[in-house]
Structure 1
């Protein structure tokens, strides 16, 4: 006799999603401290302070820090412990010039946009950036800023370019967090930061790749050195 078909409420038909673990929650909290600028390059992550602040014991904290080490956000050394990753000026130059090269190639291949649906990812990321700016949530603004730039790269529909760009994810987050901190401190508030990205999207939607490339030239690595 054939088994009866599973009902819509059958456990076999339901996807059970595990809630975030203590390790994941701790990693997310420390990641936010780094991307918001609360913890800067070279700052030590003191276990006693973090266990008290996060309300967890040392084993999940240490596992969380190992995850962040794998992401490239912190470094862990014997006897010295964990510190926020530091990037030299040469590191930043190499990361941001590589980002710009990938974005320029994607614009050359993808603008004018031939698949309108791809622009939706750009618009969605920009709106998330705007919401983060209104909430003064710098860490989330940095992550949504990365998503916005990744969506520009995706306009080309070039899987290998997207894969290379994704491989820079965490290094780019560090650079973008540092860039946002410098800009906000000297001359650009969070709303102006979003407006600059909105202008870039306007140019992309207008469909003139030369104007987009000109804007990227001052939007990318050059902007990092401006004060």
Structure 2
């Protein structure tokens, strides 16, 4: 085996580009994916595009209907309730077990993800921002040094990403700009790093308080309507 690094394949690049479109809400729940349009936008032929779509379908981001094509997956109210309550419980347990953090090196992946989030805001790349936000939160799970806890969190990655994407859209539209979004994550990180478990848990409790589930009354939100 040599040490030659291989460039990402067209399939990987296409899947990542479409994944970011979904997470940035450029493709919304229920939208049909048009292959001809995507081949033009991505500059690839249909075979690698179809492979990329199969990858995203295996992840649960897309679903297919016979003779109708592929669509962006939707989440119903029960799905959202289960995903968000599971996420809350897992993160709370990680904080209860892992704070104060015994090894400062455990915080470095979350610190790095936070810097990536800042760069995504500078680039106005919302799809990549959602992905970096997931990395931030999943990195904080590691402070507990609890393998099974991490595995359960990782096993729900794609559904968590979808919920985080829709939360970002709702928050940016109604509650906070992207700079405030970053500062909210910085506060959470700082409290975890401080070793004050009760303060970190209190901040975690309100961290995701406002979401696409509770947009202001009388407003229209396509993401909310598609729950």
Taking structure 1 as the reference length, the TM-score comes to 0.91
Distance 1:214 1:118 in 2: 21
| SS class of match (1:183) | helix
Equivalent pair of 1:23/1:64 in contact (CA under 8 Å)? yes
Q: Which of the numbers 203, 215, 222 marks the counterpart of 1:215?
A: 203
Residue equivalent to 1:54: 42
Query: For residues 17-166 of structure 1, what are the structure 2 equivalents within 5 Å?
Result: 17-166=5-154
| SS class of match (1:132) | helix
Distance 2:68 2:207 in 1: 37
Residue equivalent to 1:179: 167
Distance 1:16 1:168 in 2: 33
> Could you say what the CA RMSD is over the residues aligned between the two structures, in angstroms?
1.2
| SS class of match (1:60) | helix
Distance 2:4 2:59 in 1: 27
CA shift for structure 1 position 93: 1.2
Distance 2:69 2:15 in 1: 16
CA shift for structure 1 position 199: 0.5
Residue equivalent to 2:224: none
Distance 1:21 1:178 in 2: 29
Equivalent pair of 1:134/1:191 in contact (CA under 8 Å)? no
Moved more, 170-179 or 15-24: 15-24
- Deviation track 1:184-219 (CA, whole Å, cap 9, x = no partner) reads 011211111010000111111121111111111111
Segments of 5+ residues of structure 2 without an aligned counterpart are 216-227
Distance 2:13 2:123 in 1: 21
| SS class of match (1:174) | helix
CA shift for structure 1 position 17: 2.5
- Deviation track 1:21-77 (CA, whole Å, cap 9, x = no partner) reads 111111111111111111111111011111121122211111110000011111112
CA shift for structure 1 position 152: 1.0
CA shift for structure 1 position 16: 2.1
- Deviation track 1:158-207 (CA, whole Å, cap 9, x = no partner) reads 11100110111111110000000000011211111010000111111121
**Following TM superposition, where does structure 1 have runs of at least 4 consecutive aligned residues deviating by more than 6 angstroms?**
none
Distance 1:20 1:127 in 2: 24
Distance 1:206 1:54 in 2: 45
Segments of 5+ residues of structure 1 without an aligned counterpart are 1-11
Distance 1:151 1:54 in 2: 31
Name which one, 1 or 2, has greater alpha-carbon Rg: 1
Aligned residue pairs: how many? 214
